[in-house]
Amino acid sequence: MSAAAHGHHDLGFFKKYMFSTDHKVIGMQYLITGIIMAFLGGYLAVKFRSQLAFPELALLSGSEYNSSVTMHGLIMVFWVAMPILVAAFGNFLIPTMIGCDDMAYPTLNMISYWLFLVSAFVAIASLLIGGYGGAWTLYPPLSANMAEASGGGAYVIGKVPGLFSGGSLIITAVALEIIAFLIGGLNFLVTTINMRAPGMSIWDLPFVVWMIDLAVVVFMFSVGPLVAGAIMLLFDRTLGTGFFDPNRGGDPILFQHLFWFFGHPEVYVVLFPSMGFVGEAITTFSRKPLFGFKKVIWAAIVASILSFIVWAHHQFIAGIDPHAAVFFTIFTVLISVPFAAMMFSFIATLWKGSIELTSAMLWALGFIITFLFGGVTGIYLGTLTSDVVFHDTYFVVAHFHYTFVPITIFGGMTAIYFWFPKFVGKNFSEFWGKVHFWISFISFNAIFLPMFIPGTAGQHRRIAGYTEATFPAMAVEPYATIRIISTVAFWVLFIAQVIWIIHMIVKFYTGEKAVKNPWKANTLEWTCDSPPPHGNFATYPTVYRGPYEYSVPSRDSDYWPQDEKG
């Protein structure tokens, strides 16, 4: 960041880059931490995918395998998707898009990042002492009792693993991370409500700001039960209480309810910002207003409300009342309606547009296609009767990654390519951006599309190797070959991300300086310098119109910035 070049006074290295209260520096800190954690999570996947494809090499033992898949899941959800999509881009975009100089509470913002960094270190510490191996859902009594750090461990009644075990540390890390995001999220909401530029009504807010704020609201409403559950679980592990262990008078299913009450809305917490990025890219590169802007936002609000009454679709066969399952399946299937409406709006935005296939646009279109597939495969799982077959199989793994990878990687890359010139201030190479997209798009589909086949046959999850001795029906063709295809495709996907990071670092140092508004977009952040200096705007903007006035017939120019008079 070259914010200092325009700064009022020299702050010194530590104040400027480490303990900065500038929202752009904090956003960059979140982004870089998230990317580092993504490579860590990806490395774990390299390990367990290789074991899975070639079980005869015996690369990982049963507990090492369990620990790798568990830590991969936890890291990718809590330390990659959340910081990159919500925190990093929330920090970059909210102040610059609403036309103010910084967050409402800059110091709290800094504290939020540092708490997050501590939580990341605690998570890495947990990984270093062997991690936790009972799946990212942390189901007790396994999680309440498992003593060995490696995630192996036989169940012994009343055995207390203590605080310094992989499981206890990762639960602590999740709790810390949640506190960090509560502080950050509070800041986002206060800033959006109070600090908008003169003339900016809530319907003049860009789509992505709406979506990030909506994500924060959903997060705040859903996270309470998870924190309660995590602390009770931590007590079970450290003090020997028995909240979730039936052998000590507890109830294991209670934890599942607390977890999924958060766990399902959490999907939308990361999805909404991503849809926001994609919406911005699609309108800008189609030169068209976002189709049905208000309706899309109302659809998102309806989906947010519904997201609180669908959580037990993760528990259809967990031993809950089968009558209750009928209630939850109805709302789960119905939630497809608002999401279909949102997707149709994106597609309608392309209609009769003037489409330019930049890297960011490709990633956005890739998001729509892959996420749609994730959405339609969700119907199989949300329908309770077919879920009996698919629950805890590779069908779920494939479906889940067809939602989370579009959200995190496709949505995240849309945002990174779209705003790189603005917040880094350098141009990147469109050629390498497109190469990165096509390799990633093809290899991603090659990993997860074939996975539906063993999933349909019932290949169950979290198994270090399907050997002829234990699961002969899964050890035969075509399943064995499909596992190898997925693994090789994953190596390719991983290497593509290495190429991307090299491209980004090279352009950070050598790229030519970006202009103010390279995409000719309307929203306020494009009126700042690239990168925006400390304080963002030379003169604070006034807003005269909505964010998506593209190709207005009465004008020669095909865009109309929000702050342009007349």
Partner 1 sequence: MRLMGKFLAVFTLMLLAVSGYSGLFFLDNISSYGQAIDNLIILVTLIVMPAFVICVSLIVYFVIRYKRREGAEKALYETGGHGSKLAKKILIIDGIVLALDIVILFVAIPTWMEMEVKKVPTQGVVDVRVTARQFDFDFHYAPGPDGKWFTKDDVKITGELRIPVDKKVVLHMTSFDVIHDFWAKNLRLKQDIVPGRTISRWFQVNKSLIEKIHGFKATDWDTKVNVRDVISNGNVMTSILADDIHNAKTEKDKKEAKEDLKDAKEELEKVYKKNLLGKRLFEIACAEICGSGHYKMNAWLVVEKQDAFDQWLKKKVAVNAKKYEVVAHHSSQGKSISFPIK
Taking CB under 8 A as the criterion, which residues in 243-272 touch partner 1?
245-247, 251-253
**Two structure tokens written together for 11:** 């702050």
295 forms part of the interface with partner 1 (CB under 8 A): yes
Name residues contacting partner 1, limited to 327-356 (CB under 8 A). 329-330, 333-334, 336-337, 340-341, 343-345, 347-348, 350-356
CA dist 163 → 126, 138, 172, 235, 240 (Å): 11, 16, 9, 9, 11
- Calpha distance 29→17 (Å, rounded): 9
Site for partner 1 in 446-475 (CB under 8 A): 453-454, 456-458, 460-465, 467-474
Cα dist from 408 to 10, 433, 496, whole Å: 36, 17, 15
Structure tokens, 56: 């005869």
**Nearest to partner 1 of 12, 472 (CB atom):** 472
Tell me how far apart the alpha carbons of residues 252 and 140 are, in angstroms, rounded to a whole number: 6
| Least separation in angstroms between CB 197 and partner 1 | 22
Nearer to partner 1, 139 or 500 (CB): 139
| Of 363 and 548, CB closest to partner 1 | 548
Footprint on residues 312-331 left by partner 1 (CB under 8 A): 317-319, 322-323, 325-326, 329-330
Q: Establish if 155 lies at the interface with partner 1 (CB under 8 A).
A: yes
**From residue 355, how far is each of 286, 352, 397, 557 by CA, in Å?**
4, 9, 34, 16
Whole-number minimum distance, CB 141 to partner 1, in Å?
A: 5
Among 202, 388, 498, 502, binds partner 1 (CB under 8 A): 388
Q: Which two tokens stand for residue 415?
A: 């945002």
- Cα–Cα–Cα angle for 21, 119, 236, rounded to 5 degrees: 145
Among 39, 46, 105, 152, binds partner 1 (CB under 8 A): 152
Q: Considering only residues 32 through 91, tell me which ones interact with partner 1, judged by CB under 8 A.
A: 55-58, 61-63, 65-66
Residue 292 CB, shortest distance to partner 1, in Å, is 4
> Which of the ranges 27-35, 98-106, 193-201, 549-557 carries the binding residues for partner 1, by CB under 8 A?
549-557
Tell the smallest beta-carbon distance from residue 282 to partner 1 (Å).
Answer: 10
Contact between residue 100 and residue 535 where contact means Cβ atoms under 8 Å apart: no
Q: Which of residues 156-195 bind partner 1 (CB under 8 A)?
A: 157
With respect to partner 1, which residue has the nearer C-beta, 199 or 289? 289
State which of positions 126-145 bind partner 1 (CB under 8 A).
133-135, 139, 141-142, 145
Cα–Cα separations (whole angstroms), residue 213 to 188, 208, 225, 404: 7, 9, 21, 20
Count of CA atoms in the C-beta half-sphere (13 A) of 423? 27
From CA 385, how far away is CA 403, in angstroms rounded? Answer: 22
Report the alpha-carbon distance of residue 320 to residue 340 in Å, rounded: 29
The CA distance from 234 to 236, in Å, is 5
Using rule CB under 8 A, residue 203 touches partner 1: no
Compute the distance between CA of residue 339 and CA of residue 134 in angstroms, rounded to an integer: 32
CB-nearer residue toward partner 1: 283 or 527? 283
Chain residues 481-540 in contact with partner 1, contact rule CB under 8 A: none
